Structure 1
């Protein structure tokens, strides 16, 4: 949306790469081939992958931009829209990189506390955004680290009410029962971020994508580095799209295991929050973390205001059984 665009970007032209058939290619200073064509730069905007993804999402390819994970896309939004000293607003607790990226890009970061770490007071949040005169608003949904969801009607109320670009980070959305689709055609100030890292199980290839209206995507392409998604990642992304049944099956396993682990943690009075993601957020005595650590079982530990809170990724049934056994041992030793 041009209204919020940085002044320097308004007259900036995107780096253009000519993609066409050739007999001899000597225009990009590439090296001599020695391993299957990898001397060539990748297709700049991942055309084949972007077109396949657009078809899955019932979108035009011009409504998508691909990135080196969602993290790059968050930074591209800041490159395009955030002037030095302007404000980014999110809620707390949330993904720590939102604040880090804001500081890197010379912005001011403000967060609004969730009630009981899981409920967003939507009207209070809207007033907070207006008070801080935010340029960007970032909403993790489901939220990391709590796993909680903001209802769609509340998301849309925020988008309608604030004078800012709204980044809806849906990295974990496939693990929820949230309505499919997005509202980027209706709202010019909304962008949606998703990833291949979580539900598709491909964190190692670093692939994320942004959905937005064509105008916004055009602005993002102005600030995007050329060739930002490598050849191997593009190929693996296409392979993933061809194997949706594997992804769907894995999601259902995670959902079942999430409920099993939630019930177990509740039985142990560790009070996990309800989660729409592939993890559970709970409070526990430090000796539980220490016992898991001593058995080489890694869960996420937090500090500061989140001291004594932990995040457990939902693993395979076998991995979850190992966690259950380790926690049972701690409980039995204490009794």
Structure 2
């Protein structure tokens, strides 16, 4: 018996290290030990050991795609059938199923499983809990579960669920729970969210679960689904609660090990290597004490794959160290000779770790979980792409879809860029000359100002510095969609407070949201994009009384009669005001934005800012633009006049468009008379080369947004709209 246990433990160690050849060798040695057994030995016990080693040999050969070894192992398994009980014969039949799966003969494998598993589950239900054969049968049903997992990883979700249902149906609770839980994990890894949800529902609502077991199982299901949907913070929170419940109240140590094996890689993916180490070490210790080899090996593999340490070599060393601890444990059980052999093997691997084996099948495993299913931001299509797509020359396209300034920047900008010096030298990391120019222009102390590569960069920068994963922002749609997008990128949550009629802010709704979810940031835009409405001073002052950081986006403020709120940051510690050169100074392509911050906040933000984020060319362009403020003001006046002319022309000549009042350089229009807004946008582009913006969100799906252009642009647009009546 000791010899057989030793070979079994050696095979475990080789499997954990990813050495299938040595694992197979150890299993063959176990088979030879069975053959050398005394004639007086218990023949059923010997047959059981022989089947166990043969099954493991078959599994190992299948993993290594060793066809001769597969065939030999199956033949030997069939040869032992006469010595096995009816229950033990299930194991042989399921091994045959495994071979069929390894050869990708899916239909034959499912047929084999369908013939075997119902009888096996019925037998399991009839056996008493203390019957030794029940252990063997549960192992057989676990094979059915594992084969279901194999199908799941191949993307054959329905077949996987069918096989899992067969292996768990009417079986003992432990088998049903294991089948459902492991299926959910592998379906999630394979992207089969439907299969995962079905398995988790079965896992969390099993009638055999006690109330506390059911709570723990349901929490585990919620955590796994949250993880699959990219909510790493929510998953960590739920799984941590599940761990406490399973450990302290339920006493389900196997469930605890499973949760630890999920939490460990999750923490590692978030950069918490210390936490991951604690989770996986705890799982290994617990699994070792239980004699739960699958959970133990899962913990060791997770530790190595997560690369606990600074590189893959240290990850392998970590695994070898854990194997050494396992060796000591095994040595206590099987004797000093085995102890010495195993410890020596572990120490050898620790001193000379093997090169890292390629184990990554999909590079997305390196991506933070919450980003894997992130919906991409949909930017405006570039002019050259539009030209190629529509067949219009670039000069003939009327581009009214991105709120760009059609007049271009002051002539000083072009001259300054033409004579640009020192592009080989890194730019001023603090953009001091720019900040001093902005201070003079707006009358704001320079200490309050920071420049970024567009206001968009500052939006993302503020969120990175302020928000912890899982914390909330308040968004008031319809508005600039970058707020919600950047929140998703930074693993934050969005509390949506929709605007009222006329695009007015729902002040009561915002106050309620602040009270209920305790957000860190409230984003406001004035004039608001896409409708051009203004936030009143009364509303701003009321919202500044709330315990939330108000980020006030004034990208279009120049086109309104409202004064900027930049100076308010000297009075309010919870106010940031953002501005941009993209609209008023026509520098959208240079990416130049800036913000006014409270001194207590900006002092900390400077420490985290990327040092060379604003290029030499961009800084030169911004300084040149500020040398001709009168030009900027003249262009603004032209666009405001043209905005009003465009609005009047739409009201008079285009009955199916109803423009909303606007204080920006664009008009939002409701498409009426049963017309389709998307189709209107498409026809204007395809037939006339006129580009406008259409929104696909439910609150704006019947709307288009039209940027204000030059008079000739307005004329061409109106003519096209009239022609389309």
Cα contact 1:117–1:146 (8 A) shared by 2 = no
What residue is the counterpart of 2:430 in the other structure?
A: 45
Residue 319 of structure 1 is aligned with which of 699, 713, 720?
713
**Residue 311 (structure 1) shift:** 0.6
Counting matched residue pairs gives 296
CA distance in 2, matches of 1:251, 1:208: 18
SS at match of 2:659: coil
Residue 556 of structure 2 is aligned with which of 137, 161, 172?
172
**Residue 290 (structure 1) shift:** 3.1
The range that moved more, 285-294 or 162-171, is 285-294
What residue is the counterpart of 1:291 in the other structure?
A: 683
**Residue 181 (structure 1) shift:** 4.4
CA distance in 2, matches of 1:125, 1:262: 32
Q: Please show how residues 83-98 of structure 1 align to structure 2 within 5 Å.
A: 83-98=468-483
Cα contact 1:266–1:272 (8 A) shared by 2 = yes
CA distance in 1, matches of 2:564, 2:554: 11
**Residue 117 (structure 1) shift:** 5.2
CA distance in 2, matches of 1:209, 1:134: 24
The answer to whether the aligner puts 1:309 opposite 2:713 as a matched pair is: no
Residues 32-83 of structure 1 show CA distances to partners (whole Å, capped at 9, x for unaligned) of xxx9422210111111111111111112211000000000101111111100
Residue 614 of structure 2 is aligned with which of 204, 229, 233?
229
**Residue 289 (structure 1) shift:** 2.1
Determine which structure has more spread, i.e. the larger CA radius of gyration: 2
Cα contact 2:681–2:693 (8 A) shared by 1 = no
The range that moved more, 99-108 or 257-266, is 257-266
Question: Of Structure 1 and Structure 2, which has the larger fraction of its residues in strand?
Answer: 1
What residue is the counterpart of 2:160 in the other structure?
A: none
CA distance in 2, matches of 1:204, 1:257: 23
**Residue 130 (structure 1) shift:** 2.3
CA distance in 2, matches of 1:66, 1:266: 40
Bigger relative CO (Cα 8 Å, ≥ 6 apart): 1
SS at match of 2:503: coil
CA distance in 2, matches of 1:150, 1:208: 21
What residue is the counterpart of 2:527 in the other structure?
A: 142
CA distance in 2, matches of 1:155, 1:98: 18
What residue is the counterpart of 2:665 in the other structure?
A: 278
Compute the RMSD of aligned alpha carbons. 1.4
Cα contact 1:102–1:109 (8 A) shared by 2 = yes
**Residue 213 (structure 1) shift:** 1.7
SS at match of 1:184: helix
**Residue 304 (structure 1) shift:** 3.0
Residues 164-203 of structure 1 show CA distances to partners (whole Å, capped at 9, x for unaligned) of 1110011001101112443111100100000000111110
What residue is the counterpart of 1:7 in the other structure?
A: none
SS at match of 2:534: coil
Cα contact 1:130–1:163 (8 A) shared by 2 = no
**Residue 252 (structure 1) shift:** 0.7
SS at match of 2:570: coil
CA distance in 1, matches of 2:440, 2:586: 21
Residues 90-119 of structure 1 show CA distances to partners (whole Å, capped at 9, x for unaligned) of 201111111110010000012211112511
Gaps of 5+ in 2: 1-419
Q: Please show how residues 145-164 of structure 1 align to structure 2 within 5 Å.
A: 145-160=530-545, 162-164=546-548
Cα contact 1:76–1:224 (8 A) shared by 2 = yes
CA distance in 2, matches of 1:121, 1:85: 24
CA distance in 1, matches of 2:598, 2:612: 22
What residue is the counterpart of 1:11 in the other structure?
A: none
Cα contact 1:93–1:117 (8 A) shared by 2 = no
Residues 130-164 of structure 1 show CA distances to partners (whole Å, capped at 9, x for unaligned) of 2221111100111111111111221121112x211
TM-score, normalising length: structure 1: 0.85
Question: Of Structure 1 and Structure 2, which has the larger fraction of its residues in helix?
Answer: 2
CA distance in 1, matches of 2:701, 2:564: 35
Gaps of 5+ in 1: 1-34
